[in-house]
Amino acid sequence: MKNLTLFFLLMAFVANAQMMTPEQLAEHQLQGYNERNVTKFLEAYSDSVKVYMFPNKLMYQGKDKMKTGYEGMFSNMPDLNCTLKSRMVLGNTVIDEERVLFSKDRPVMEAIAIYKVAAGKIQEVYFISKE
């Protein structure tokens, strides 16, 4: 019985050690984005992630739809890069101010991304971009 209790305590410790903080999740997906690595990028997101144009226009839902869109973008935009200007973290919410380069012949887009985290994954994303 004692060994079983120790086993479960160890498993709980390992599970908690592997869970990323909201800030780590935001950073992980940013790294995947800049590496154009769709697998790494998607690791931070829940299977049912909802992506909105701020404040409440649902653009799409689900990691499968996210994968389809980002795979195409990653393979067709060799200049793609996102520079983090600032980051704020409050509890399970991360707010990133970003500069996104889609191609060298287009101006850089300024944007804000708001990530809402629950159960160890990004559940919702809200984008605000400068027109």
For 37-66, the pLDDT digits (tens) are 999 999 999 999 999 999 999 999 999 999
- Residue 127: what are its φ and ψ, rounded to 5°? -110, 140
Q: What is the pLDDT of residues 59-110, one digit of tens each?
A: 999 999 999 999 999 999 999 999 999 999 999 999 999 999 999 999 999 9
- In the chain, pLDDT over 90 holds for what percent of residues? 84
Domains of the chain (ranges; CATH) run 2-129 (3.10.450.50)
**94-103 pLDDT tens trace:** 999 999 999 9
| Number of residues written out for the chain | 131
pTM, 2 dp: 0.84
